[in-house]
Structure 1
Amino acid sequence: MTTTTRTPAAVHPNTETLRTVYADLNRIENYISDDVLLHRANRTVEDPHPLVGKDAVMAHEHALLDAAGGTLVMDVQHIVANDHFGAVLGVLRIRHPREAATPFCGLWRFENGRIVEHWENAYDAPALAAALTPPNNT
Structure 2
Amino acid sequence: MTTASTGTTEHPHVEILRTIYADLTTVAHYAAGDIVLHRADRTAEDPRVCRGIQAVLAHERALIKLAQGTLFMDVEHIAATEYFGAVLGVLRARLPRQIAMPFCGLWRFEGGRIVEHWENAYAAAELRQLFAIPTPRSATS
Q: Within 2, Cα distance between the matches of 1:89 and 1:7?
A: 21
Is 1:20 paired with 2:29? no
Residue of structure 2 equivalent to 1:116: 115
Q: CA deviation at 1:112?
A: 1.0
Q: CA deviation at 1:49?
A: 4.8
Q: Within 1, Cα distance between the matches of 2:32 and 2:68?
A: 27
Could you state the TM-score of these two structures normalised by the residue count of structure 2? 0.86
Deviates more, 1:94-103 or 1:49-58: 49-58
- Aligned in 2, Cα 1:17/1:128: closer, same or farther, shift over 3 Å? same
Provide the secondary structure at the position in 2 that maps to 1:11: coil
Residue of structure 1 equivalent to 2:29: 30
Deviates more, 1:30-39 or 1:122-131: 122-131
Matched residue count? 128
Q: Which runs of 5+ in 2 are unaligned?
A: 133-141
Q: Deviations over 1:51-72 (max 9, x none)?
A: 1111111111110010001100
Q: Which runs of 4+ in 1 moved over 3 A?
A: none
The amino acid across from 2:125 in the alignment is P
The amino acid across from 1:108 in the alignment is W
The structure with the largest alpha-carbon Rg is 1
Provide the secondary structure at the position in 2 that maps to 1:17: helix
Q: Deviations over 1:31-59 (max 9, x none)?
A: 11100000111111221252111111111
Provide the secondary structure at the position in 1 that maps to 2:70: coil
Q: Within 2, Cα distance between the matches of 1:25 and 1:62?
A: 8
Is 1:125 paired with 2:111? no
Aligned-residue sequence identity (percent) comes to: 59
Q: Within 2, Cα distance between the matches of 1:45 and 1:27?
A: 29
Q: Which runs of 5+ in 1 are unaligned?
A: 1-5, 134-138
Q: CA deviation at 1:121?
A: 0.2
Could you state the TM-score of these two structures normalised by the residue count of structure 1? 0.88
